[in-house]
Amino acid sequence: MNRRAATFGRHAVLLVGAVAVVVPFLWMFTTSLQTRAETYTSTSVLPTSWHWENYAHAWAAAPFGRYYLNSVVMALGIVAGHLVLDALAAYAFARLRFPLRDQLFVVLLAMLLVPTFVTVIPAYSLVAGFGWIDTYAGLIVPRLADVFGIILLRQYFAGIPQELDDAARIDGCSRAGTFFRIMVPLSMPAFATLAIFSFLFAWNDFLWPLLVTNSDEMRTVQIGLASFEGRYGTTWNYLMAGTVMATVPAIAVFMVFQRLLVRGIAMTGLKD
């Protein structure tokens, strides 16, 4: 009996917490389906009316299609860059011996600690100098590699038994071959984790796309949403429809890959 009461208590507290976490999402969704008049008076967090046309209005009021395209191109570019560049570097740091390896790694770790806004101003002038303002190159190239991914993959590679490499080497495989034929196939979970992290980072990123895009044509979803908020701040139903549209892809990715993501956090959290 006592045990049952304890379980009940647990559920009660967890439920209250879960509701508190979810209310902003519910309100966002509910508001996105209301008429403008309702948005100012409604106290319900559950939908009371279903004006799906708000989404069409929001979609038409700003080039959301274009924002989506830009975000997807940018996110895929960054994910691909991280998977290739980070993995190659991580393998070298995990398995190969070369001069200044440890010193170089310490420099990378130190970069991780530097607030983004230290690098933002000079990186912005650099990209402007290349003529990359308002281009995909400006959005993607500066973020093709990242330190976090190198560390994540290096930790994972280090956990793969060295004997496998040795066996491949004895069988006449080159070091590069060992990487592509042994390490890569064995590291798919780590690659998946990194891909999800990188996608979420890119999809949700704000400051850098804000600085390197000026035209509506090149804005990403987040920047588009922020500027939409400036213009439609009083029509909450449209604004929330836009917010829902900007949020859904990230949540969908999370839902599908939840297990991997959670494991990834555990992996970096504990080993870091």
Partner 1 sequence: MPSAEPRPAATAATRPAPVTRARGRAPRLRGDRYDRSEVLTAALFVLPAVTVLGIFVLYPILSAARTSLTSWNGYSPTKEFVGLANYTALLHDPALWNSLGVTVLYAAGVSVLGVVSGLAVALLLDSPIRARGLYRGVYFLPAVTSSVAAAIVWRYLFDPAGWVNTALGSVGVDGPDWLGNRWLALTLLTGLTVWKNLGFNVVLYLTGLQALPTSVFEAAQLDGANLWQRIRRITVPLLRPITFFVVIQALITTFQAFDLVYVLTGGGPRGGTEVLGMFMYREAFRLGDFGYGTAIAFATLFLVLAVSLVQWRVSGSGRSSLR
Instruction: Tell the smallest beta-carbon distance from residue 165 to partner 1 (Å).
Output: 9
Q: What is the largest CA-CA distance in the chain?
A: 75
Task: Kindly tell me which residue out of 60, 69, 126, 164 binds partner 1, with binding defined by CB under 8 A.
Answer: 126
Nearer Cβ to partner 1, position 60 or 112?
112
Side chain identity at residue 165, one-letter code: D
Rule CB under 8 A: is residue 147 a binding residue for partner 1?
A: yes
Task: Kindly tell me which residue out of 143, 213, 219, 241 binds partner 1, with binding defined by CB under 8 A.
Answer: 143
Nearer Cβ to partner 1, position 65 or 234?
234
| Whole-Å CA distances, 208 to 58, 121, 127, 196, 256 | 25, 10, 11, 20, 27
Nearer Cβ to partner 1, position 56 or 106?
106
Rule CB under 8 A: is residue 170 a binding residue for partner 1?
A: no
Q: What is the C-alpha end-to-end distance of the chain, expressed in Å?
A: 43
Rule CB under 8 A: is residue 219 a binding residue for partner 1?
A: no
Alpha-carbon torsion angle 141, 144, 147, 148, nearest 10: 130
- Which residues are CB-contacts of 89 (< 8 A; sequence separation ≥ 6)? 145, 150
Rule CB under 8 A: is residue 41 a binding residue for partner 1?
A: yes
Task: Kindly tell me which residue out of 10, 36, 181, 231 binds partner 1, with binding defined by CB under 8 A.
Answer: 10
Side chain identity at residue 11, one-letter code: H
Q: Which residue has the tokens 């990403």?
A: 220
Rule CB under 8 A: is residue 241 a binding residue for partner 1?
A: no
Binding residues for partner 1 restricted to 59-98, rule: CB under 8 A: 81, 84-86, 88-89, 91-98
Rule CB under 8 A: is residue 186 a binding residue for partner 1?
A: no
Rule CB under 8 A: is residue 203 a binding residue for partner 1?
A: yes
Task: Kindly tell me which residue out of 56, 60, 69, 114 binds partner 1, with binding defined by CB under 8 A.
Answer: 114
- Which residues are CB-contacts of 117 (< 8 A; sequence separation ≥ 6)? 207
What radius of gyration do the chain's Cα atoms show?
23
DSSP state of 1: -
Task: Kindly tell me which residue out of 117, 170, 171, 188 binds partner 1, with binding defined by CB under 8 A.
Answer: 117
Q: How many residues bind partner 1 (CB under 8 A)?
A: 105
Instruction: Tell the smallest beta-carbon distance from residue 256 to partner 1 (Å).
Output: 11
What's the token pair of residue 42? 């409604």
Instruction: Tell the smallest beta-carbon distance from residue 56 to partner 1 (Å).
Output: 20
Task: Kindly tell me which residue out of 50, 102, 170, 188 binds partner 1, with binding defined by CB under 8 A.
Answer: 102
Rule CB under 8 A: is residue 137 a binding residue for partner 1?
A: no
Instruction: Spell 192-214 as b/e; 16+ CB within 10 A means b.
Output: bbbbbbbbbbbbbbeebbbbbbe
Rule CB under 8 A: is residue 271 a binding residue for partner 1?
A: yes
